[in-house]
Amino acid sequence: MTEGKKSENSELADALAEVGRRVGQALTDAYDRMRPAFDAVSGVANRPEVRAVFDQAERIMRHRPCLCFCQKAHPADRGICETFDAVITGQHTSQIFGEVGVPLCAPCAAARAAREFVK
């Protein structure tokens, strides 16, 4: 390798090292400026009243709606549906889709089973 090539490689390495140092310093500076905001958000998120809201939202999001089609599935048992509390998946036959899993609440599942039993 010639002396000129070594000098070019050394200059390139030095330039890349300087760019890396500047990028690292810029990231550190940005983190230092944002740290108080992160600390404030985490402080608020860990307060008991805020945790209670998040816990309530999680409980609500766990509920599945009952999609029983009550009027067709158990027309004699109207008004028994617990609309937002599906606990089991029942089978429904569709002309378009064939067998489909349908979320059902406990009363609708029981009414469907009783209707099938009577048939």
Query: pLDDT tens digits, residue range 24-69?
Result: 999 999 999 999 998 898 888 889 998 998 888 888 777 788 888 8
DSSP per-residue codes, 58-71: HHHHH-------HH
Other beta carbons within 10 Å of 27: 10
Q: What ranges do the domains of the chain cover?
A: 3-59, 63-118
**What is the length of the chain?**
119
Write phi, then psi, for 81 (nearest 5 degrees): -65, 135
pTM greater than 0.75? no
Q: Helix (H, G, I), strand (E, B), or coil: what is residue 8?
A: helix
